[in-house]
Amino acid sequence: MHVNRIACHDCDQLQLVHTLMPGESAVCARCGSLLARSGRDVAERTFAYASASLILFIVANVTPFMEFKIAGRVQIAYLSTGVQQLWADGYGELAVMVAFTSILAPVVLIGGLLAISSAMMLRRRPSWLVVLTRLISRLKVWAMMEVFLLGVIVSAIKLGQMAHVSFDVASLAFVALILSSTAALAAYDPAAVWDYLDGEDPR
């Protein structure tokens, strides 16, 4: 039976955790925080939430995000409209950063979680899985959809003094995307993934 040394994320207590059976989880002996879940639970939960996130991401990017009405004119904005406008106004570096943190990093993160969880459920260990697992751990801090949404809300409040602003389908999908992607990251357990890569079968 494989044994891992895991430090609690809340109290830093270092503990030995044996390979978990399907449905099992390990909690900290000091503070009771969750340390790890079984590989099977990690794969299935992560796949479910990541699949929902991918669908919501597509909806959020292909449907109207907001609608502005001012002086009889109507303007429809998409999720990428802000990036395009920043680029057109000469703020190329800022446009690239916004595009990376609000669009590119989230979709790569979601795709990575789908690929890792799929490989675990299919009991496959392709060589690129190690690289992808490391990429996911580095990419999590760059997916800032919450910050982007906060900026949109602040802008909408300011524009609301001059025009009528209404949120469309994409805005609702984007909020749901933030929730589902957060759930996917919460279900994803790097320790269980590394156990699987070391040869421990989650099933």
Asked if 114 and 187 touch (Cβ cutoff 8 Å), the reply is: no
If pLDDT is split at 50, 70 and 90, which confidence band does 167 have?
confident
Regarding whether 149 and 127 lie in a shared domain, the answer is yes
Q: What's the alpha-carbon Rg for the chain, to the nearest Å?
A: 21
Regarding whether 125 and 101 lie in a shared domain, the answer is yes
On the question of pLDDT at 51 being above 90, the answer is yes
Regarding whether 149 and 55 lie in a shared domain, the answer is yes
Regarding whether 31 and 14 lie in a shared domain, the answer is yes
Task: Supply the pLDDT for residue 23.
Answer: 62
Regarding whether 176 and 141 lie in a shared domain, the answer is yes
In a domain, 97, yes or no: yes
In a domain, 203, yes or no: no
Most confident of 14-28, 33-47, 86-100, 137-151: 86-100
In a domain, 57, yes or no: yes
The rounded mean pLDDT for the chain is 83
Average pLDDT over residues 126-140: 89
> Cα(125)–Cα(24) distance, rounded to whole angstroms?
23
Instruction: Tell me the residue length of the chain.
Output: 203
Number of domains observed in the structure of the chain: 2
Domain span at residue 7 reads: 1-37
If pLDDT is split at 50, 70 and 90, which confidence band does 141 have?
confident
Regarding whether 125 and 192 lie in a shared domain, the answer is yes
Task: Supply the pLDDT for residue 139.
Answer: 86
Regarding whether 51 and 30 lie in a shared domain, the answer is no
In a domain, 28, yes or no: yes
Regarding whether 105 and 8 lie in a shared domain, the answer is no
Regarding whether 20 and 97 lie in a shared domain, the answer is no
* CATH number of the domain within which 155 lies: 1.20.140
Regarding whether 42 and 25 lie in a shared domain, the answer is no
In a domain, 56, yes or no: yes
Regarding whether 67 and 30 lie in a shared domain, the answer is no
Burial class (CB in 10 A: 0-12, 13-18, 19+), 126: exposed
Pairing of strands 164-167, 73-77: unpaired
